[in-house]
A and B are shown apart, each in its own frame.
Chain A
């Protein structure tokens, strides 16, 4: 529970950061201050929720607490996810990918890079298995799409991305962006990445968020699936999220 709250706090901080779009190296102390503030607010809200178990927030517009969500989605769902904006990516067919292309689809995002031999193939294989196990109704419109977002745009060209992502599933889409626009996307969904030198100039590796991000068909940041990623868990939760959205 505490870990979930912390993750959400981190996400909220990244959302706040995205406003100013500053580089990750600056403003650390500000981030800490905000983090403490966020934790205080979350703890306050939680104690309020737990200390008043008989009070129902239903009917209070705009107030969605975690406890009012269906149990199966509560740990991943972001109740007040904001619409993504300023998205300027290029897909693996060299076509522009803006926030418009989130509309009318459920988009799973994974941040990785093709020089990543262990985690990235494993995650794409997990998502391939998810695709295979999704029930037919979960594949209907608004249909799901998977974006493999490279955190290594200098080495991962659209052509390389296309060969890489479609190898795992013909429907998977690789996307890249200039560093500036990569940050704009990453900041809005709480994704982190950073470069680490290798022995030679081009053998650097990239540390990156291992979560799967879910964007809803209105283009809003909606859920985060954190490792360890379990195929059945993702399938079940995604179906439940779709159901919850339909009922709203």
Chain B
């Protein structure tokens, strides 16, 4: 009887495992513009690609180096600029989401230490099923796309 139960659980695990394993997100160009040391809030930018056939919802971002991380969208309406907090950012199937200046961005709140250029910061992007760890480099703030300088 017990053996039968264990077998059933194992079968259930085998059935659900492939579904879990399929959640793949590819992160690139993660960076944080260096900011004046007095600022409480920094921005984070990254490119997220979903190579799978299912949309993936990111519903939480954390960092050991910041008290709190939020996802925000800068919108401009009637000449006014405002930030809209995003509880979920959905990366559509075979598509990508780009966190970039003037649009979707990470809001990194209350740094736990002074961030220096070249430092790598850990960012954890979570969905309901998985967590993806990404390293974002603190780079000189510039208006160009910093990934172009690297190549």
Interface residues of A (CB under 8 A from B): 7, 10, 114-119, 121-122, 125-126, 129, 159-160, 163-164, 167-168, 192, 194, 196, 203, 205, 207-211, 226-228, 231
- A118 adjacent to B102 (CB under 8 Å): yes
A115 → B minimal CB distance (Å): 5
Residues from chain A with Cβ under 8 Å of B41 in the complex: 114-117
- B143 adjacent to A122 (CB under 8 Å): yes
B38, B39, B42, B101: the one contacting A122 at CB < 8 Å is B101
Interface residue total, chain B, C-beta cutoff 8 A:
28
Q: Type the 1/0 row for B102-136, where 1 means its CB is closer than 8 Å to any CB of A.
A: 10010111000000000000000000000000000
Does B79 count as interface, using CB distance less than 8 angstroms?
Answer: yes
Residues from chain B with Cβ under 8 Å of A167 in the complex: 35-36
With contacts A122-B102, A125-B141, A163-B36 taken as known, whether A117 is within 8 angstroms of B108 at the C-beta atoms is yes
- Mostly helix, strand, loop or mixed at chain A's interface? mixed
The 7 closest A-B pairs by CB, nearest first: A167-B36, A117-B43, A207-B82, A210-B81, A163-B38, A125-B143, A117-B41
Give me 15 A-to-B residue pairs in the complex whose CB atoms sit less than 8 angstroms apart, sorted by A's number: A10-B79, A115-B40, A116-B41, A117-B42, A117-B43, A118-B43, A118-B105, A163-B36, A163-B38, A164-B36, A164-B39, A168-B36, A205-B83, A210-B76, A228-B102
A-B contact sample (19 more), CB < 8 A, given A119-B102, A209-B80, A210-B80: A10-B79, A114-B40, A117-B35, A117-B41, A118-B43, A118-B101, A118-B105, A119-B81, A121-B141, A125-B141, A125-B142, A125-B143, A167-B35, A168-B36, A196-B82, A205-B82, A207-B83, A210-B79, A231-B143
With contacts A205-B83, A207-B81 taken as known, whether A121 is within 8 angstroms of B72 at the C-beta atoms is no
Residues from chain B with Cβ under 8 Å of A211 in the complex: 79
* Nearest chain A residue, comparing its CB with the CB of B105: A118
A114, A118, A194, A210: the one contacting B39 at CB < 8 Å is A114
